[in-house]
Amino acid sequence: MISMDNGKSPEQIPPRPPGIPRWLAITLAPIVLLIGAPAVHAGIPWLLSHLGPRFGWADGSPSVWNLIGVVSLAVGAVLLVWIMIFEFTQNLPEWVPIDWRPVILMTGGPYALSRNPMYIAELALWLGMAVLYGSPVVLAGFAIWIVVMRRLTVKEERGLESAYGDIYLRYKARVPRWLVLPRRA
């Protein structure tokens, strides 16, 4: 039996990796950003904040010092939106594999300032929540996230080096893992 679309028999056509069509990926991304991210990076810290004291809070309200956490929350939220917009402007393939490995090596936009801008945004959200709630438990969650993300980045970088070779190594030499810091003269 010959397939009508490419002249190959079904046995000759390699199986498609698990994934979703591009249109579905673009449709689901805002849902994840608007529901999934707040559930993880706002809901979990809120729940954790009830497991211990809330320093700076009086009569159920945060103090002015706690409100400083809103700055970190805003930075994290704006960075996540920038990342999402940047990723939408990239040329996703027609079929987006569901895999931990990246489909595209992104080196522009927020990725020109940090190799891990999404992790920075998430950490900014957790730090903001820890300060806003005045919660040592949420601060401990923030510290755990740092350890987890550190380990994830090492694993991800090995995969990127394997997949993209010299292109990734040049990018890695040019862009810091975490934050752009002024260089000493």
* Residue 34, CA distances (Å) to 44, 51, 181 in order: 15, 26, 30
- What are the DSSP E strand ranges found in 9-100? 19-21, 95-97
Q: Let me know the angle formed at the C-alpha of 148 by 98 and 174, rounded to the nearest 5 degrees.
A: 80
pLDDT of residue 1: 41
CB 127, CB 77: distance < 8 Å: no
Determine the 3-state secondary structure of 33 from DSSP: helix
Is 0.95 topped by the overall pTM? Answer: no
Q: How many CB atoms lie within 10 A of CB 114?
A: 18
Of 152, 167, 39, 151, nearest in space to 100 by CA? 152
Of 67, 69, 68, 77, nearest in space to 122 by CA? 77
DSSP states along 119-130: HHHHHHHHHHHH
CB 35, CB 42: distance < 8 Å: no
pLDDT of residue 8: 54
Task: Give the Cα separation of 90 and 106 in Å (integer).
Answer: 8
Q: Mean pLDDT in each 10-residue stretch from start to end of the chain (185 residues)? A: 49 69 83 84 94 93 95 95 83 74 83 94 96 97 96 91 93 90 59
Q: Please give the DSSP secondary-structure letter assigned to residue 52.
A: S
pLDDT of residue 169: 95
pLDDT of residue 14: 62
Could you tell me which residues come within 8 angstroms of residue 91 by beta carbon, excluding any fewer than 6 positions away?
104
Domain ranges of the chain: 66-177
